[in-house]
Structures are given as structure tokens and as C-alpha cells.
Amino acid sequence: MGKPICALITGASSGIGEAFARVMAAEGINLVLMARRADRLEALRRELEPAHRVKVAVVPCDIRTAESRAGAWEQAQKAATTSGLEIDCLINNAGLGESTWFVKQDWSRKAEMIDVNVSALTHFASLALPPMAAANRGWICNVSSTAGFMPGPKMAVYYATKAYVTSLSEALSYEVRHSGVKISALCPGPVKTEFAPAAKMDSSRLFQVIKPMTSEQVARIGYLAMLRGQPVVVDSWLLAGATFMNRFLPRAMILKTTAFLNGAGGRRK
């Protein structure tokens, strides 16, 4: 089973993205790290390069606009080329979420989630996949969520974006099935990261009922699944079983269960 030579990781300054950087650097994979917080990227670069003897480049970027994404991709390619490398792996990790009622959520916040979770992810996949297909070699891991398997009252837009990510990943995996390119959707459940409190999710019943995994555990699972070319991977047997059972349960039951876990079971306040 081969492995990448140089991976671009979006949302690499914290959480699952940072964990992917650590896991892959430990495997001897060179990195291009992308996120908004340049100071964190630099700190991670200074840590990983000497520890694992890999080349690490940083590309600070706000990926919410197409122009900034195109510019960041060019910077990432240039950084890799300067080191005599080519990006042969994409970890599409950057994401946003928020726990609130749809009618109370500003359009700007909805648009921001769609821009990052859908548009940016699709854009980077569109930029990365053609050269991988031409080389008949490459890996893409799109970080989705178990949220993508069901509707999510009080997090309606976030759940919908993750359904898109999982669907896109499965379709692309099928399209490239006869090539040397492998595409996976990583679908974690609750994870101990900065994402949960930022999205106002950490106090929800979901985090009380299901024990959160660490970002390092999730990244390791995602990395190995990506190497295998597993189209969709859920990070625990419990959640994998639950998502499988969703196929046989009434939609109304799934909706009520998710609403309860998200704290949307009662009347909207």
C-alpha cells in the first residue's frame, strides 16, 4: 500500500486538520498547511520539520472566496515545487458549523458555512483531482461528518452541507475507481476540538450521549482509510452501526432523534 509524498491540508491550524498534519508528518509525508491563523501554522511547521525530518510549507489563507482559493492553490503548488515536490494528496478538512435555529441564523452565517463546507471543498477537489488523474496517482480525503447521514434540526445548514460532502466523495470515488487515485469521505461523530464550542455544540445532548473521540484518533482512522481507498469511513463501530440502521428506520423517527440530540426537541425559543 503506497502513501503520499506531499499533502495539502486545509484547516490545518487546529483540530482534525492539525492532527492529520501530525499523523502524516510522522509517516514521513511532506506537508503544505493551509488555514487563516498564520501564527499557528508557523508554530506547527517549526515543530514538525525537525521532529520528523519532513518539509513543511505554510499558506495562510481565508478560503471563503474563489479568488483567495485560487491564489492559495497557486502558492501551495509553488511551495511544493520549490522543494522539488508535487502535491499528490489533499486533506479537505476546513469546515464551519453553528448550532442555532434556521430562522434566527443570519444569511451571512449560512453563506459562510456553504462557502467553506461546500464551495471551498469542491473548488480544491476540482483543482487537485485533474493532475492526480493525469499522473494516475493521488489521494483525497474530504472531511465530512456522521451529520451527513441525517437531517439536523437546529443545525440544518451544517448537516445539509455534510450530506453534500459525503455524496460528492462517493460519486468521485466511483468515477476514479479504475485509476490510481483514491477518494474518501471521513465521517466522524463528536470530536474533542475547538470546533464544538465554536459551533455551540459542546453542551448538546449529542456530546453527552456519545463519547467524543480525540482529533488524533479520528485523523489516524481517516488516514488509514484514505490509503485503502475506502469511499466512506465512520470513526466508530457504534456510529457505523447507527448510520447503517438509518436506512431501515422511519425518517420521522430519525428526525426526532436528531432533534433531541441537538437540543431541538421542544418548542423553538
pLDDT digits (tens, 9 = 90+) for 227-253: 999 999 997 665 665 676 677 667 777
pLDDT digits (tens, 9 = 90+) for 20-69: 999 999 999 999 999 999 999 999 999 999 999 999 999 999 999 999 99
pLDDT digits (tens, 9 = 90+) for 128-157: 999 999 999 999 999 999 998 888 899 999
pLDDT at 200: 56
pLDDT at 94: 96
Q: Is the pLDDT of residue 115 over 90?
A: yes
Report the pLDDT averaged over residues 6-20.
97
Residue type, 111: A
Catalytic residue among 158, 159, 174, 223: 158
Residue ranges of alpha helices (H) inside 53-155 are: 66-82, 107-114, 121-135
Name the average pLDDT for the chain: 89
d(CA 89, CA 32) in angstroms, rounded, equals 10
pLDDT at 189: 87
Residue 269's contacts (CB-CB under 8 Å, 6 or more residues apart) are: none
Please tell me the least confidently modeled range out of 65-79, 112-126, 182-196, 212-226. Answer: 182-196
Shortest CA distance to 235 belongs to which of 209, 216, 261, 253?
Answer: 216
Give the angle subtended at the CA of 94 by the CAs of 93 and 97, to the nearest 5°: 115
CATH topology for 6-261 is: Rossmann fold (3.40.50)
Report the pLDDT averaged over residues 242-266.
68
15: left (phi over 0), alpha (psi -120 to 50) or beta: left
For 171, which DSSP code?
A: H
215 neighbors 171 (Cβ within 8 angstroms):
no
pLDDT digits (tens, 9 = 90+) for 176-219: 999 999 999 999 988 876 665 554 555 566 555 667 789 999 99
Output the nine-digit C-alpha cell for 75: 502558492
pLDDT digits (tens, 9 = 90+) for 88-105: 999 999 999 999 999 999
Examine the residue annotation and report whether 158 is marked as an active-site residue of this protein.
yes
Domain boundaries, the chain: 6-261
Report the pLDDT averaged over residues 248-262.
71
